[in-house]
Amino acid sequence: MTTNADSIVLPAHLHPSDGRFGSGPSKVRPEAVSALAVRATDYLGTSHRQATVRDVVRRARDGLAEMFSLPDGYEVLLGNGGSTAFWDAASFGLVERKSQHVVIGEFSSKCAGVMKSAPHLEDPDVIETAPGEVPRPNSADPSIDSYCFPHNETSTGVMCNVVRPSGANGLVMVDATSGAGGLRVDPSQFDVYYFAPQKCFAGDGGLWLALVSPAAVERIERIHATKRWIPASLDLATALEQSRLNQTYNTPALATVFMLAHQAEWMNANGGLEWCARRCDESAAIIYRWADEHKLAHPFVAQSARSHVTATIDFDDSVDALAVARVLRRNGILDVDSYRKLGRNQLRVAMFPAIEPNDIKILTEAIDFILEELL
């Protein structure tokens, strides 16, 4: 008998310990919020130019340098505006003349669009494939000075390897917004690895972070020294100078900075990037094994490129994935809807380090329960 979706109630054992599975903003650990509350009167609402706040910025920067085992000469930069603002900053301060983009979904497409619309840059070289596939950058064109690709394309759940294209002279600039902190990476393979705290770092948005190599620092300084017009708030040379002082050019969200430092320390205390990546591997193994064996579901992405931080699961036509997401939401399991613009009969599930692998298991059981009731 088909049950009315509105009347489906999940039994208690199918409630995860935390119902947040969104791909960003994503689950914030309650411990981070409690730790912030303790600093309600001596940190929040105080000057970002004073030692109290700068010390938290320093903890965040040191925590990231430790987690990624940054080699000598690599630096941690930060600024306001999230990864989207970083694209704009990169169009002014990192791309010299021409970039190449691997476009495999909405976010990598937006990054390419920024460079394409910049009047001072040549049209970028775009390597695009259908959603779900992964092309590789190629270094055949010597005029390319910046190679751009995502570590994890969040809109489709496709993961790329961070590897320098062989023979490339340009900078390798990786959009790691949703991959950083959950996927393994070797810093020698990138020049710029940028992200924001609302994904694997279980924090809030509005800030960008960039791990930069000595070659990227040299590029930033060299472009700054030319007469190219750069809007002040997007000037990476200013971000470089301010970051070294554990500050930002203009006022940051202090809560965001605090939660980032807290999460980075939590990740490092547990065993660093390798521990985080193993936790994501474990969650990914649970959800993909479930989907592979399912009569009504299957992973959207081919095995070799399946993301270990954002899973995309397609459903049979007999299932209305949106209706499933609605029932889950009514039962306190949030934000597993597919990426709107992808337009597939799909659920998307974040598996960031803060998310308990056992909660992923319970989520799959909750979906099975709902499917039985609906069909």
Ligand X SMILES: *Cc1c(COP(=O)(O)O)cnc(C)c1O
Q: Is 79 in the site for ligand X (CB under 6 A)?
A: no
Residue 162: how many other CB atoms lie within 10 Å: 21
Q: Is 233 in the site for ligand X (CB under 6 A)?
A: no
- The amino acid at 253: A
Residue 126: how many other CB atoms lie within 10 Å: 17
Q: Is 19 in the site for ligand X (CB under 6 A)?
A: no
Please, what is the minimum distance in Å from the beta carbon of residue 254 to ligand X?
Answer: 18
Please, what is the minimum distance in Å from the beta carbon of residue 107 to ligand X?
Answer: 4
**CB-based closest residue to ligand X:** 82
Q: Which is nearer to ligand X, 196 or 324 (CB)?
A: 196
Backbone angles phi, psi at 4, to 5 degrees: -70, 125
Applying the rule CB under 6 A, the residues between 149 and 168 that interact with ligand X are: 150, 154
Q: Which is nearer to ligand X, 83 or 99 (CB)?
A: 83
Q: Choose which of 24, 124, 131, 252 interacts with ligand X (CB under 6 A).
A: 24
Q: Is 283 in the site for ligand X (CB under 6 A)?
A: no
Part of the chain binding ligand X (CB under 6 A), chosen from 66-74, 137-145, 171-179, 334-342: 171-179
Quote the CA–CA distance of 164 and 185 in Å, as a whole number: 12
Residue pair 273/184 in contact (Cβ under 8 Å)? The answer is yes
Please, what is the minimum distance in Å from the beta carbon of residue 110 to ligand X?
Answer: 7
Residues 6+ apart with CB under 8 A from 208: 78, 79, 80, 81, 82, 83, 85, 86, 89, 194, 195, 196
Quote the CA–CA distance of 163 and 189 in Å, as a whole number: 5
Please, what is the minimum distance in Å from the beta carbon of residue 82 to ligand X?
Answer: 3
Please, what is the minimum distance in Å from the beta carbon of residue 135 to ligand X?
Answer: 16
Quote the CA–CA distance of 230 and 211 in Å, as a whole number: 21
Pairing of strands 146-150, 99-103: parallel
Pairing of strands 310-315, 346-350: antiparallel
Q: Is 91 in the site for ligand X (CB under 6 A)?
A: no
* Consecutive H or E run containing 256: helix 254-270
Please, what is the minimum distance in Å from the beta carbon of residue 184 to ligand X?
Answer: 17
CB-side neighbour CA atoms (13 Å) of 286: 21
Comparing CA positions, the residue from 23, 18, 71 lying closest to residue 179 is: 23
Q: Is 194 in the site for ligand X (CB under 6 A)?
A: no
Residue pair 181/67 in contact (Cβ under 8 Å)? The answer is yes
Q: Is 205 in the site for ligand X (CB under 6 A)?
A: yes
C-alpha triplet 201, 205, 211: angle, nearest 5°? 55
Applying the rule CB under 6 A, the residues between 173 and 192 that interact with ligand X are: 175, 177-178
Quote the CA–CA distance of 164 and 308 in Å, as a whole number: 21
Q: Is 26 in the site for ligand X (CB under 6 A)?
A: no
Please, what is the minimum distance in Å from the beta carbon of residue 179 to ligand X?
Answer: 7
Q: Is 353 in the site for ligand X (CB under 6 A)?
A: no
Please, what is the minimum distance in Å from the beta carbon of residue 187 to ligand X?
Answer: 19
Part of the chain binding ligand X (CB under 6 A), chosen from 29-37, 76-84, 129-137, 160-168: 76-84
Q: Choose which of 15, 35, 62, 84 interacts with ligand X (CB under 6 A).
A: 84
Q: Is 256 in the site for ligand X (CB under 6 A)?
A: no
Binding site residues, ligand X, CB under 6 A: 24, 82-84, 107, 150, 154, 175, 177-178, 196, 205
